[in-house]
Amino acid sequence: MDHVIWGVGLSQVLGIVFPSDAMSWQEIFLRWIHFLAGITWIGMLYFFNLVNVNFMKALDAPTKGKVVPELLPRALFWFRWGAVVTVLAGLWYYMIILTLEPNAGGNIGRWFGMVILAWILIFLILRPVSGALNNGYLIALLVAILMILLSWGVLRFNSSEGSSNEALSIGIGGGMGVIMLLNVWGIIWPHQKRIIAWTKANATQGTPMPPEAAKLARRAFLASRMNTWLSLPMLFFMAAAHHFPFLGKV
């Protein structure tokens, strides 16, 4: 009893009033974890694209053979697991929001279906790494069209009377975030893991890099660069959920 009285007195002195319901504590915990992991993930993404790409180009083969096996596994660990925690915490939070929306069950199913379909198309676009589909500008155009269609789909099929700005904004931004996660685990990490192993074998045993290494490196680069550009609208829509009410009701 004394600690309760002490806590109440401290709250009154500091002007703090903590929520009394469990849902508020759950939501702030999820958002905090989401932000913390997201900073780690996107920070590593920007490091790879703004710093590491040009840094690696400046290294000669022997130096690269020493740097790549030491640096990239560590960086990619935080990169890929930061992505997992970010998306899982975000999905949990999003599911809570959707339970308060009209037709919550249908919204969840349609949303997942649209996101997965968009990523499958992206995976197929990146698959050739040859001909016209080796052009970054063309890939950017195709992905931009897909993201516009995904956004339209969220607004068209997951919007109804009473849909909130929060649910619709997170539906669009979170959909892009899930696609970015799938790029990490479906393309970037599997390819980089093989490249790291080949680079280490080349440096320590003199094993030549296989012909497919350049193709895998190109595909991983395109997926990573795509994630960098996707992070811009993704972050906009996530911020707009609470600070820019332009979709649905506030």
Q: What is the pLDDT of residues 107-162, one digit of tens each?
A: 788 899 999 999 999 999 999 988 889 999 999 999 999 999 999 999 988 877 77
Q: Which of 3-12, 131-140, 155-164, 188-197 has the lowest mean pLDDT?
A: 3-12
pLDDT surpassing 60 at residue 10: no
For residue 137, which of 145, 115, 116 has the smallest C-alpha distance? 145
